[in-house]
Structure 1
Amino acid sequence: MTEFRAPAQELARFRLRVVVAMLFVCVCLGLLGARFYYLQVVRHDYYLTRAEDNRIALLPKVPNRGSIVDRNGAVLARNYATYTLEITPSQVGDVQATLDELATLVAIEPRDRRRFMKLLEESRNFESVPVRSRLSDEEIARVVSQRYRFPGVEVKARLLRDYPQGTVGAHVVGYIGRINQRDVERIEEAGDTANYRGSQHIGKAGLEQFYESELHGITGVEQVEVNAGGRAVRALSRTPPIPGNDLELTLDIELQRVAENAFGARRGALVAIEPASGGVLALVSTPSFDPNLFVDGISTQDWKALNESPDHPLLNRAIYSAYPPGSTFKPFMALAGLETGKRTASQAIADFGYFTLGNHRFMDDKVGGHGMVDLHKSIVVSCNTYYYQLAHDLGIDNIARFMGPFGFGSRSGIDLPGEASGVLPSPEWKRQRFRRAEQQQWFAGETISVGIGQGYNAYTPLQLANALAALVNDGKLYRPHIVRHVVDSRTGQRRAVEPEPLREIPLKPANIKAVRDGMVGVNSSGTGRRAFQGAAYTSGGKTGTAQVFSLRGQRYVEGRVSERLRDHSWFIAYAPAEAPRIALAVLVENGGFGAQSAAPIARQVMDYYLLHQRAGAPAEEDVEADELEGGEHAEAAAALGRAAVPPRPAASEGLR
């Protein structure tokens, strides 16, 4: 059967198919063109970056860390060049085998291997990773002579941190250590991740931590071309790093050394301040530690020795530990009495050896009392009865209100991390401190104990030194600071850290003079006279003995009490008396009477600072308690009516 087709219809169908095919091709070409435009134009920067990342690597260039020097230019922290053995993983086939072979040339300890593997995980394949630092000349020679056997292994020069003063001033300077996960989190929170790429160390304590942003510098970057295996082929560009700034301190490291040596093996703290500026001249916490142990990762043995020591050498007692101030609180109480009108300088009380509150007697240390006692005599002989009665007349609210502006019970703002606020007791503080209602009540007997620097009182040596500086500086209180200048690493320009006045306490000149005259009497004829006998300058001071635990009515006999339960020894002082250039506070933990342990240390420090003499302070002498401490003997502190009030928490290190 023959099929007939119309030529016109066939042609129309053919044309339709051609048109459809052309449209389909055009659509496909349009899609390809659109995709091409999207990739080449819209996403050009993105894919260019991706392509460049495969070809170009950015290597961070770690900046040199800034140095730290004292007020006279003595170096406290610096960098020194050392040679390190390093491996570039991308150029090494078997890393572990390479380490084993290298161990035949240089000593590679297990801790070196652990540190290397940790750094290897955190680094990029084409970056060199240190295996050993501080190579000796002999070790360098052995590695270099055999270098042909170890592709990807090289000896590099690096800068490491060094603390040439060792243990002297360690709590002030602090130390650096390897960056850990906690540090990484803090860096990310601060938005400084890019600036720490390639960095292995960061400030961990002291000025190294507080001024990290100044000391670290700005990380540079080098662009290198890498091949498919990740090996660097050539350098393309380089942005050099900017070294960290240097720090010049108010601290005198030789004065610091004299102070630390004066403590010997005893535990304690000392803070010396320039009253007119708040500049810290010395800040001591003993025992100390060697910050060099931390630079390249402290060993387990060294860490255990420091961390588990009963003397807590890592604790900065000067700014963190709070103690009852004992009788060093009395000059401030005397000033409070004068300023509030509760006392006049000539007004005297009869001291019969006790103060009665209700049916309880608060005993003075001297049987029969000191007779008639005015303000001057109360400071010179440290008469407890005078301050029992003064505290009762003032009331706890007035005491707290007057002491607060001197910085008691609050952080001073010193440029060091870890400062404690201490405790300025008041009814409001007690309500916040305790949970149970019966513990929140303020008792009248507690006010009496606060008046002689006991009870809930707890202040740091820094707070006492700064409060004394304000007293002898006519009420002008400065923020204590340790850094005097920040030196720009590029220009050498010195940016001064200006003294920062916190407040000016309105005090009457006559009242300040009355208290200062009393403190001069302490060192000339009172409880501090033995320590300052024969001094070539006039000074003012106040001894203090702070009770560590309640005797519950028992008589204190130092030889019968465990060494760590003995009273703390305090001494505050300033000189020259006419125009004070230095004000200091000294604490000797469990040192007993203030005149016996703390005052001789203060004498040595002042002799060196004012006369540049290292010797001259008298040795400790075994003298009668009545001669040494007058009204601040621990028996009086033990008779504070403990049965009528809840016992205060133990005044030991770390109490905030």
Structure 2
Amino acid sequence: MAVKRVTIKNHSAEANLFARRTLITFIGVLVMILILFNNVYDMQINSYEKYQTRSNQNRIKLLPVAPNRGLIYDRNGVLLAENRPVYSLAIIPEQVDDIEQTLTDLGQIIDIDEEQKQNFIESMRYKRRFKPLELISRLDEQQVAKVSVNLHRLPGVIIDARLKRYYPFGELTTHSLGYVAKINRKDLLNLEQQGKAEEYKATRDIGKLGLERYYEDILHGKMGYQEVEVNNRGRILRTLNYTPPVSGKDLTLSLDIELQMIAKRALAGKRGAVVALDPRDGGILALYSNPSYDGNLFVHGISSKDYKNLNNPDRPLINRATQGTYPPASTIKPFLGLIGLDENLITLHSKIWDPGWFQLKNGTRKYRDHLKWGHGWVTLEEAVMRSCNTYFYDLAYKLGVDRISENMAKFGFGESTGIDIHEETSAILPSRGWKRARVNQPWYHGDTINIGIGQGYWTVTPIQLAQATSILVNKGKVIEPHFVAQIHQGDSAVYSASEPTNITRALTDSPEALINRGFSINEKPPVVLNNDKNWDIILESMRATVRKPAGTGYNAFLGTDYRAAGKSGTGEVVGRAQDVEYDASKISENQRDNAMFIAYAPHEAPEIVVAIAIENVAVGGGGSNAGPVARQIMDQYFSNRALTNNNQSNRN
């Protein structure tokens, strides 16, 4: 029989083992507790500020608040660009029990198309339900009224109001003011590159053209902030602090809206441009390009149909006053005569014989005068007054292209004027170097003959003609043309064109930025003559052009109660052979001559300079087509001045 062994437990050894294990566990727990307390201490004491900031970032949000855009006024205080409330229809899904039924109810009150419904339902999938979702972006007054009276039975439906730019005069001011439109990807990239993206977080629109774009930094204002507390889902619980935005500064222009209206009326049915400025300070009084378009179309996003209508052969999107290029024609004859006088190639009394044409020695081509039988013996004054081509063919040949291009550049031809909008072209002042670079050909004597009457390669813009005429009447003083007469914040002016010494303090936040953006009066070198009496000779010849019956501007300014002066021009669009007679009825409209005119008044102390360009006239030249337009502008200007003087006299 086997014996069964019984193992006796060693209680002492087991107790020791348990004690050791308990000690190790206790030490482990103690270490973990120490680590935990160390981390708590580090978070609560050492890293308190760090985690407090992160906590606040999760709890407190800064919501940007857009500033109101600055307003724009004309010289008489007429509002040209304002901010009007625009109403949109939105729904807060969280507050609506049945979205489909609410949309149906709204559809019975106002028209809602299927596309708007689908866009709204689609947006609900990606937006938080407690935030308003836009259903209709623009409501008219009747729609606002209909929805408003039914809001009590439409829980969750709200009418949201915001300010949008509006131009009361529409197409009358578009080429001057430009317009604002929605900020796109390109705009955002530019803002980021300029370090301005933060200032536009709450802004939907930005200046795209004209003054709206040029003075964007001044018109936009400074963004404000709303400090709010939110929960973990982003819902706003309460407002902690509010920093109001600073509205943009307002602009007062030298522009006169009544002159703009006259310009539009005078150019009705024509393609062309009118520029009127004050030669005493360079302020633009009128700048109108016809045809034009309504900038309001772009503010809310232009439809493809409307944009397609603007892309037509009449090119309404082009600002003809600053971007339209035209042969200056005979309007440059006073300038050419001035150069001839100063170079001692002609005198007031020297004459040439005009048989009706000019011919170079050993040449075969005859360069025609506009009178086939010629003007006979003509002096400088008669040549300007009667627009004798032969006289200036001869003078241009004597001067040569080098002296012509060098001296004409001093009057601003061939370069930008510096006007305070970006949409400007420099046109072409031809020279030997220009022709070689452009067409890789040498300069010929025939080219010089052509530019002697403002034809050939030479082109100008109406604003260039206006500035050049201003330099002429100022006897060499060069002043850049500009729109802005004053910048003000509320009732306090921060810049005035009449006080150029105060320009550096125009904006307290960044005077340097002002100067860089064109607020400094660029004191360009004056045009200096060898004999200052030559200014008066040329100006008197322009006075004779509208005063004497033989002058090309006589009929246009007959009977004025102010002393005007000017010069007409008729520019060939397409060159013609020397024996071909011009007959507008036998050529296409876009090949007909342009009508040009420059004028100023009063002759003794000029207050207004006008430059007119009219494209493809059917009958007549600059004197009979563009001259009457200049007359209408000046009549309005002096009529307003007389009315203002009478009102002041009555008050005194």
TM-score by length of 2: 0.84
Match of 2:606 among 580, 583, 586: 580
Match of 2:191 among 187, 192, 197: 187
1:591-630 paired onto structure 2 within 5 Å: 591=617, 593-612=621-640
1:311-390 paired onto structure 2 within 5 Å: 311-357=314-360, 358-359=362-363, 360-390=365-395
The answer on whether the counterparts of 2:330 and 2:570 sit within 8 Å (CA) in structure 1 is yes
Distance change >3 Å, CA 120–CA 274, structure 1 → 2: farther
Equivalent in the alignment of 2:396: 391
Distance 2:288 2:297 in 1: 19
1:190-589 paired onto structure 2 within 5 Å: 190-306=194-310, 308-357=311-360, 358-359=362-363, 360-434=365-439, 439-489=440-490, 492-497=492-497, 498=499, 500=521, 501-507=523-529, 508-525=531-548, 526-553=551-578, 554-589=580-615
Distance 2:276 2:128 in 1: 49
The answer on whether the counterparts of 1:90 and 1:231 sit within 8 Å (CA) in structure 2 is no
Range with greater deviation from structure 2 (172-181 or 81-90): 81-90
- CA displacement at 1:247 relative to structure 2: 0.6
Distance 2:444 2:410 in 1: 24
Q: Give 3-state SS (helix, strand or coil) of 1:420's partner.
A: coil
The answer on whether the counterparts of 2:223 and 2:245 sit within 8 Å (CA) in structure 1 is yes
Distance change >3 Å, CA 337–CA 46, structure 1 → 2: farther
Distance change >3 Å, CA 297–CA 98, structure 1 → 2: farther
Distance change >3 Å, CA 419–CA 148, structure 1 → 2: same
Which whole-Å deviations, capped at 9, do the CAs of 1:618-646 have from their partners, x for residues lacking one? Answer: xxxxxxxxxxxxxxxxxxxxxxxxxxxxx
The answer on whether the counterparts of 2:68 and 2:247 sit within 8 Å (CA) in structure 1 is yes
Distance 2:573 2:342 in 1: 31
Q: Give 3-state SS (helix, strand or coil) of 2:171's partner.
A: coil
- CA displacement at 1:160 relative to structure 2: 2.5
The aligned amino acid for 1:520 is R
Distance 1:271 1:333 in 2: 22
- CA displacement at 1:158 relative to structure 2: 2.3
Distance change >3 Å, CA 133–CA 364, structure 1 → 2: same
Distance 1:413 1:94 in 2: 60
Distance change >3 Å, CA 113–CA 427, structure 1 → 2: farther
Distance 2:148 2:296 in 1: 28
Range with greater deviation from structure 2 (102-111 or 364-373): 102-111
Equivalent in the alignment of 1:135: 139
The aligned amino acid for 2:602 is P
Distance 2:123 2:496 in 1: 39
Range with greater deviation from structure 2 (576-585 or 142-151): 142-151
Distance 1:407 1:121 in 2: 60
The aligned amino acid for 2:369 is D
Rg bigger for which structure?
2
Structure 2: runs of 5+ lacking an equivalent: 1-6, 501-520, 643-652
Distance 1:167 1:51 in 2: 53
Distance 1:136 1:495 in 2: 38
The answer on whether the counterparts of 2:486 and 2:493 sit within 8 Å (CA) in structure 1 is no
- TM-align CA RMSD: 3.4
- CA displacement at 1:408 relative to structure 2: 0.5
- CA displacement at 1:106 relative to structure 2: 2.5
User: Identical aligned pairs, as a percentage?
Assistant: 43
- CA displacement at 1:105 relative to structure 2: 3.1
The answer on whether the counterparts of 1:125 and 1:230 sit within 8 Å (CA) in structure 2 is no
Structure 1: runs of 5+ lacking an equivalent: 615-656
Distance change >3 Å, CA 240–CA 374, structure 1 → 2: same
The aligned amino acid for 1:466 is Q
Distance 1:584 1:122 in 2: 58
Which whole-Å deviations, capped at 9, do the CAs of 1:423-465 have from their partners, x for residues lacking one? Answer: 111111223323xxxx332222111111110111111100000
Distance 2:527 2:285 in 1: 23
The answer on whether the counterparts of 2:486 and 2:494 sit within 8 Å (CA) in structure 1 is yes
Range with greater deviation from structure 2 (222-231 or 114-123): 114-123
Distance 2:144 2:450 in 1: 67
Which whole-Å deviations, capped at 9, do the CAs of 1:268-302 have from their partners, x for residues lacking one? Answer: 00111111110010001011212222222223322
TM-score by length of 1: 0.84
Distance change >3 Å, CA 114–CA 469, structure 1 → 2: farther
The answer on whether the counterparts of 1:545 and 1:569 sit within 8 Å (CA) in structure 2 is yes
- CA displacement at 1:175 relative to structure 2: 1.6
- CA displacement at 1:138 relative to structure 2: 4.9
